[in-house]
């Protein structure tokens, strides 16, 4: 019985992955291979914000702060100005703090492990799991309202 559930789950995952491969919108943070920094920025921008709003700001933000080190070294006022229009400015401050922590504690590299990601300011279980699984291929699944609807 358990093996039939497992096979059913695996088939479901394969079908969803095939659908996503065919239907996914091209988005500037969906690079190949995935860029950990761009994914970090996009995940924080996307919290409580529509994709269309993030699309208006993402490219300019990552041009202005093209690396985690540049973001970490930036003045907070510049970060907030680049974030302008996305609202929830606390997220910008947390992203800035996360960039500083990545530089200070992880040698300027976005960490791969779920626990290390969760230790960064602004990254809870959902965001850390998204980065760990999408960018680094870790088994760190997350279930949110979108997944539940599927």
Catalytic residues: 43
Q: Does the CA dihedral 120-99-76-44 come out positive or negative?
A: negative
What span, in angstroms and rounded, lies between the C-alpha atoms of 47 and 8? 32
Residue 109, helix vs strand vs coil: coil
Cα–Cα distances (Å) from 79 to 12, 25, 52, 89, 130, in that order, read: 41, 27, 20, 10, 23
């Amino acid at each position: 019985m358990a093996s039939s559930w497992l096979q059913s789950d695996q088939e479901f995952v394969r079908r969803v992955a095939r659908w996503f491969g065919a239907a996914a919108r091209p988005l500037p943070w969906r690079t190949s291979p995935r860029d950990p920094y761009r994914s970090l920025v996009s995940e924080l921008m996307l919290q409580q914000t529509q994709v269309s709003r993030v699309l208006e700001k993402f490219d300019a933000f990552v041009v202005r702060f093209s690396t985690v080190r540049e973001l970490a070294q930036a003045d907070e006022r510049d970060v907030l100005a680049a974030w302008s229009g996305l609202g929830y400015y606390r997220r910008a401050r947390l992203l800035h703090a996360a960039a500083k922590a990545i530089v200070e504690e992880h040698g300027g590299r976005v960490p791969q492990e779920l626990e290390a990601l969760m230790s960064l300011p602004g990254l809870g279980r959902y965001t850390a799991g998204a980065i760990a699984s999408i960018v680094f291929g870790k088994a760190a699944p997350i279930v949110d309202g979108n997944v539940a609807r599927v």
